[in-house]
């Protein structure tokens, strides 16, 4: 196998959840460029359809709310039936309510947990059933640097992102004997439509940029390489781990540069 073939996804069937915008859109486009047959899934049906139309070819789209376990199962089963198999599942969606713990409302807690944690579980379970039966596949769920480092106002979000990492590890342990790999990507701060309000605040934007070694935010397309590495044959012996694509944020967290250095 050539080095280039390690990253070739030709013939693979990939479902990209959250593919209607942001990181998910970039991953869907990237997977298609590597030869995958991509199905773009998103709660925003119009957004998913627009991305699928832009990619063209055999790309399809469908609406999907990952909070609905039955809908997730149905979507994956339809893909497997229509395409013959399901080789790759990438799940990017999450939400955040930035509030101190003492101000959090029950509804807000339940809303964040329903999308980030229950939704990720639904995806892992539904994809795992198909992939373990077909004896192969790769799942990537998006976690975050918040699985490791926190700040005020990030309690429930950080909890769910740490929970995703433990779900990924457990799924890797349970699915591995069937040839199914499960991993996570841990982004730092990424320029997406969801982070636009933060980007618009110059002080906040610069503070986050200065928290990482590269002194800048990531672009959504910079999450494509780490994701496609994990789903490709280049990562054939990688499972149960998280790949931080954070510009060095977690490496230098709490850094102090001594005088004269």
Q: How many CB atoms lie within 10 A of CB 195?
A: 18
User: Which residues are identified as catalytic?
Assistant: 157
Contacts of 162 (CB under 8 A, 6+ apart): 143, 146, 147, 148
């Amino acid at each position: 196998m050539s080095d280039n073939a390690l990253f070739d996804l030709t013939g693979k069937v990939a479902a990209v959840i959250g593919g209607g915008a942001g990181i998910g859109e970039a991953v869907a486009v990237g997977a298609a460029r590597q030869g995958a047959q991509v199905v773009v899934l998103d709660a925003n049906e119009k957004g998913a359809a627009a991305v699928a139309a832009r990619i063209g070819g055999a790309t399809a789209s469908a609406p999907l709310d990952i909070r609905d376990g039955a809908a997730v199962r149905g979507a994956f089963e339809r893909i497997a039936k229509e395409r013959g198999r399901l080789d790759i599942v990438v799940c990017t969606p999450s939400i955040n309510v930035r509030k101190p713990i003492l101000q959090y409302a029950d509804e807000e807690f339940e809303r964040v947990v329903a999308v980030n944690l229950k939704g990720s579980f639904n995806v892992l379970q539904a994809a795992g059933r198909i992939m373990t039966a077909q004896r192969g596949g790769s799942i990537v769920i998006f976690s975050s640097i918040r699985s490791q480092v926190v700040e005020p106002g990030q309690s429930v979000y950080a909890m769910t992102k740490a929970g995703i990492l433990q779900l990924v590890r457990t799924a890797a342990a349970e699915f591995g004997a069937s040839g199914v790999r499960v991993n996570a990507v841990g982004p730092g701060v990424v320029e997406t439509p969801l982070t636009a309000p933060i980007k618009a605040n110059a002080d906040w934007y610069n503070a986050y940029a200065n928290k990482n070694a590269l002194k800048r935010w990531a672009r959504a397309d910079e999450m494509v390489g780490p994701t496609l590495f994990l789903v490709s044959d280049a990562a054939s012996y990688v499972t149960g781990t998280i790949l931080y694509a954070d510009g060095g944020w977690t490496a230098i967290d709490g850094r102090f540069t001594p005088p004269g250095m």
